[in-house]
């Protein structure tokens, strides 16, 4: 029978090309967004974050773009390398509860990035 | 600095049993959050502890509980295990300081629980 499970979108890119991974978030009240990378058998690894008062933020080989109008987030990876193969998750946070501090993150379904040699 | 550690890494239990998972946060971090990851539901927030108190909670039944100790280490307990509890359980730590903006959460490698 058909197996039931999470269908991850897959993005296949050539080594050395740029990768763009997209994410649509659900809550217009979200004001903090994070991208995580998860390799097989490991926990999510922080890549980059962005707050809602910004629309772009750059890190080492990565850029995150935030479009609040259409509730869209993207992660750009420059010069993709074999070590970039992983599942990429975007996560959003709807704002600190009274008193601030870390709240639960709401994660997207993830995109599986495959690097072709 | 050592990262977030979780023990055990793998666990097999049978339905009806209970299980306790442990998480040691990054030194200096006072907030510990727990997440469940399954192929069907993805990553879902369970709860967050700060200064030995549960500060935030996701939408999981009361069978899922946790606690935090004075050294910020945290444990998560699941009672009366069900087959659907099979998952990767992740904990994440952050500084937990108050303020308007959220903080980066750093994840451990997870505990993979299989319920038979």
User: B42–A5: do the CB atoms touch at under 8 Å?
Assistant: no
- For residue B89, the chain A residue with the least C-alpha distance is A43
Contacts of A4 in chain B (CB under 8 A): 40
Residue B91 or B95, more confident:
B91
**What counts of helices (H) and strands (E) characterise chain B?**
0, 11
Distance from CA of A51 to the nearest CA of B (A): 8
Can you give the pLDDT at residue B18?
98
Query: To 5 degrees, how large is the angle CA B110–CA A98–CA B96?
Result: 40
Q: Is the pLDDT of residue B10 over 90?
A: yes
Q: What is the mean pLDDT of chain A?
A: 86
Can you give the pLDDT at residue A100?
41
Dihedral of CA atoms A78, A60, B23, B114 in degrees, nearest 10, equals: 10
Nearest partner of B22 among B82, B85, B93, B81, judged by Cα? B93
Alpha-carbon separation of residue A36 from B28, B43, B58 (angstroms) = 22, 12, 20
Q: What is the pLDDT of residues A88-113, one digit of tens each?
A: 999 988 765 434 444 578 898 899 99
Contacts of B59 in chain A (CB under 8 A): none
Nearest partner of A91 among B55, B102, B23, B53, judged by Cα? B102
- For residue A91, the chain B residue with the least C-alpha distance is B43
Of B42, B50, B90, nearest to A101 by CB-CB distance is: B50
Contacts of A51 in chain B (CB under 8 A): 101
CA distance B78 to B62: 9
Can you give the pLDDT at residue B98?
53
């Amino acid at each position: 029978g058909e197996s039931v499970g999470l269908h991850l979108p897959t993005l296949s890119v050539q080594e050395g090309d740029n990768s763009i991974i997209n994410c649509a978030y659900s809550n217009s009240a979200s004001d903090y967004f994070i991208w995580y990378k998860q390799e097989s058998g490991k926990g999510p690894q922080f890549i980059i974050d962005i707050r809602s008062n910004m629309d772009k933020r750059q890190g080492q080989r990565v850029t995150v773009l935030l479009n609040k109008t259409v509730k869209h987030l993207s992660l750009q990876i420059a010069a993709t390398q074999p070590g970039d193969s992983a599942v990429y998750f975007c996560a959003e946070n709807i704002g600190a509860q009274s008193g601030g501090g870390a709240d639960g993150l709401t994660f997207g379904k993830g995109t599986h990035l495959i690097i072709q040699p | 600095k050592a990262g977030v550690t979780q023990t055990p890494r793998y666990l097999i239990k049978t339905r009806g049993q209970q299980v306790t998972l442990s998480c040691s946060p990054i030194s200096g971090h006072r907030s510990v959050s727990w997440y469940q990851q399954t192929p069907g539901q993805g990553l879902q927030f369970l709860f967050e502890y700060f200064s030995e108190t549960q500060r935030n909670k996701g939408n999981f039944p009361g069978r899922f509980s946790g606690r935090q100790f004075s050294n910020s280490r945290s444990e998560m307990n699941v009672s009366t295990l069900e087959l659907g509890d099979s998952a990767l359980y992740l904990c994440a730590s952050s500084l937990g300081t108050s303020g308007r903006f959220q903080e980066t959460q750093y994840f451990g490698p997870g505990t993979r629980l299989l319920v038979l």
